Amino acid sequence: METFPLALTTLLGSTGAFVIYAIIGFAFGYALESSGFGNSTKLAAQFYFKDLTVFKVMFTAIIVAMVGIFAASGLGILDYSLLWVNPTYLWPGIVGGLIMGVGFIIGGFCPGTSLVALATGKIDGIFFVGGVLFGIFIFGETVSYIEPFFNSSYMGRFTLPEWLGLPTGTVVLLIVIGALALFLGAEYLEQVVGNKPMAELPKWRFGSAGALIAAAVLVVLIGQPNHDDRWNNIAETMGQKLADRQVQITPDELLHTIWDESLQTVLIDMRSETDFNQFHLVDAVNVASEQLGQIAKELQSIAPNTVVVLMSNDELAATAAWKFLVAERVVNVYLLEGGVNAWLGRFGEDLMLQSQTDGDDSMGWLLPMALGDRWAASLPHPEAYALLFDPKIKLELKRGPVAGGCG
């Protein structure tokens, strides 16, 4: 079943996608300008509590989008895992937010509104955009000196429900209620500090607030799809690929991929620690099934030229892990055909003796000692073998945007 966000480039081609992007960008800029957000005086007034229109409008946009996103996700219309969520770098994020906040107060613009002011020919907007570009240049030239701090306190795709340990719907409802309380406080400040009469405020805002709370309650009631729901949505398509052996790559293709400098290969070994310590491929990571959730989060933001290969002794445990990662929308995930047993049968030569196996994804080779990745077969050189395989790896780009920013 096709879910949002749609892959516009696939549906409309590059030209069609850029046309849509241009229309959305123009509409957003028009909305900002017509709301007065191209005026630095109006924007800066929020920091003096005289005019909190910017706060109310932008926060309203955030909570309406939040309710819409999670309502659509709960109804199966939108796949939330395909939406880009900026990874959290806690302390660099705090410092960056403070720097941007000070710049906002001094200059009267954020990056997005400064472009609106530039487009309408405002002199202060022109200077502000020039300052932004100069700042970008300086940052690019000096970031290497602060790189340890810049990449510190990395927390990945870390969201409020994870932090609070609460269901997503509950967090959505709490944020909506909190936002509406802040709006009331903002109106009070505008009245006291900015001398804005309350009579000028539209009466329909109470009805809108009620509708937003009702929508947030709906999000609580419908909940969010769990892992089984996500797999069921793709089971027909991906299950067929699995059954047709389209995602099982041979040891020969894996060896070729490992040595391919244009690709990054992530090797995930789903075997027991005992089997892993006996033998594993160089750079393979031993992962227990209960760790797959965290691994999936990390793999959702990997480089597009990365190939993830799962392996177990045969294919049983690796196949279960493949289903999990694919359901979590990790792309370019493949299985080692025949598992580590097949790898050793192809590249292990005469260094080990075949032992009895129960056929239950157990080790099929009796090794004289446990050497981990210090066996010659852990990373054989492809030139020592005549590699023959029908290539199955086809890189797929993850759908969804790759960046975010300030409006």
Q: pLDDT tens digit string along 91-120?
A: 999 999 999 999 999 999 988 899 999 999
Higher pLDDT, 194 or 95: 95
- Domain end call among 173, 208, 227: 227
* Same structural domain, 129 and 259: no
* Same structural domain, 214 and 311: no
* Highest mean pLDDT out of 266-270, 385-389, 393-397: 266-270
Q: According to the model, what pLDDT value does residue 380 have?
A: 94
User: Is residue 394 one of the residues assigned to a domain?
Assistant: no
**3-state SS record for the chain:** CCCECCCHHHHHHHHHHHHHHHHHHHHHHHHHHHCCCCCHHHHHHHHHCCCCHHHHHHHHHHHHHHHHHHHHHHCCCECHHHCCCCCEEHHHHHHHHHHHHHHHHHHCCCHHHHHHHHHCCCHHHHHHHHHHHHHHHHHHHHHHHHHHHHCCCEEECCCHHHHHCCCHHHHHHHHHHHHHHHHHHHHHHHHHCCCCCHHHCCCHHHHHHHHHHHHHHHHHHHCCCCHHHHHHHHHHHHHHHHHCCCCEECHHHHHHHHCCCCCEEEEEECCCHHHHHHCCCCCCEECCHHHHHHHHHHHCCCCCCEEEEEECCCCHHHHHHHHHHHHCCCCCEEEECCHHHHHHHHHCCCCCEECCCCCCCCCCEECCCCCCCCCHHHCCCHHHCCCCCCCCCCCCCCCCCCCCCCC
Total residues found in the chain within this entry: 407
* Torsion 118-124-130-135 (CA) sign: negative
pLDDT tens digit sequence for 290-308:
999 889 988 877 778 899 9
* Same structural domain, 138 and 189: yes
Confidence of residue 398 (pLDDT cuts 50, 70, 90): low
- Average pLDDT for 241-246: 95
Mean pLDDT (the chain) is 89
The answer to whether residue 1 scores a pLDDT higher than 80 is: no
- Domain end call among 195, 227, 259: 227
Q: How far apart are CA 373 and CA 367, in angstroms?
A: 13
The residue range of the domain holding 47 is 8-227
- Domain end call among 211, 227, 243: 227
* Same structural domain, 179 and 291: no
User: Is residue 211 one of the residues assigned to a domain?
Assistant: yes
- Is the model's pTM score more than 0.85? no
* Same structural domain, 209 and 257: no
- Average pLDDT for 174-186: 95
Q: What percent of the chain has pLDDT over 70?
A: 94
pLDDT tens digit sequence for 343-375:
999 998 765 555 555 567 888 888 888 999 999
User: Is residue 391 one of the residues assigned to a domain?
Assistant: no
Q: How many distinct structural domains can be found in the chain?
A: 2
* Same structural domain, 323 and 333: yes
* Highest mean pLDDT out of 63-72, 73-82, 398-407: 63-72
- Average pLDDT for 32-51: 89
* Same structural domain, 334 and 190: no
* Same structural domain, 49 and 184: yes
Q: According to the model, what pLDDT value does residue 4 have?
A: 64
Confidence of residue 183 (pLDDT cuts 50, 70, 90): very high
* Same structural domain, 379 and 243: yes
The answer to whether residue 236 scores a pLDDT higher than 50 is: yes
- Average pLDDT for 298-323: 91
* Same structural domain, 124 and 259: no
User: Is residue 405 one of the residues assigned to a domain?
Assistant: no
The residue behind tokens 């957003």 is 28
The answer to whether residue 66 scores a pLDDT higher than 90 is: yes
User: Is residue 321 one of the residues assigned to a domain?
Assistant: yes
* Same structural domain, 105 and 204: yes
- Average pLDDT for 398-407: 46
User: Is residue 291 one of the residues assigned to a domain?
Assistant: yes
User: Is residue 319 one of the residues assigned to a domain?
Assistant: yes
The answer to whether residue 341 scores a pLDDT higher than 80 is: yes
User: Is residue 111 one of the residues assigned to a domain?
Assistant: yes
Confidence of residue 402 (pLDDT cuts 50, 70, 90): very low
Confidence of residue 404 (pLDDT cuts 50, 70, 90): very low
Q: What CATH number corresponds to the domain at position 283?
A: 3.40.250.10
Q: According to the model, what pLDDT value does residue 230 have?
A: 87
Q: According to the model, what pLDDT value does residue 356 have?
A: 52
The answer to whether residue 2 scores a pLDDT higher than 60 is: no
* Same structural domain, 118 and 264: no
Q: According to the model, what pLDDT value does residue 401 have?
A: 38
